[in-house]
Amino acid sequence: MSIKRINVGARMSSAVVHGNTVYLAGITADDAKADVKGQTKQILDKIDKFLKEAGSDKSKVLSANIWLTDISTWSQMNEVWDAWVSPGNTPARATVEAKLAAPGLKVEIMVQAAL
């Protein structure tokens, strides 16, 4: 079965499609000056874009990992998340606190979706 890679970089790709599954990279905000809600919105917009390029959409997200640099921002992230997800089609999800790769980043989200 062929592998299709989206936005291939020297270090990683933004998304990789194999069979009827697409794996996205851990997505972070481009504008790290935004607050948690703003960063979450940026991330979910990017996820929408990569899912579309792969031939999927948010109603088909199977699993999501969310990392917050400060777990006390959980409800702020959730406010944006809850408004984004497809009602009746919410994915399996886990959220924990972790330090992220660049200063200013407050949220990182990695999803897998069906096509």
Partner 1 sequence: MTHPPVVHIDPGPRLSEATVCGDRMYLSGMIPEDTSADIAGQVRQVLAEIDALLARGGSDKSKILSAQVWLSDIGDFAAMNAVWDAWVVPGQTPARATVQAALSEPAMKVEIMVVAAI
Q: How far apart are CA 71 and CA 110, in angstroms?
A: 17
Give 33 or 99: the residue with its C-beta nearer to partner 1. Answer: 99
Contact between 16 and 23 under an 8 Å Cβ cutoff? The reply is yes
Sole residue written with tokens 């062929």: 2
Least separation in angstroms between CB 94 and partner 1? 12
Least separation in angstroms between CB 6 and partner 1? 9
Task: Give the contacts of 11 (CB within 8 A, at least 6 positions apart).
Answer: none
Give 10 or 72: the residue with its C-beta nearer to partner 1. Answer: 10
Determine the angle formed by the axes of helices 36-54 and 74-84, rounding to 10 degrees: 40
Task: Note the residues at the interface with partner 1 (CB under 8 A).
Answer: 1, 3, 5, 8-16, 18-19, 21, 23-26, 65, 67, 98-101, 108, 110, 112
Least separation in angstroms between CB 109 and partner 1? 9
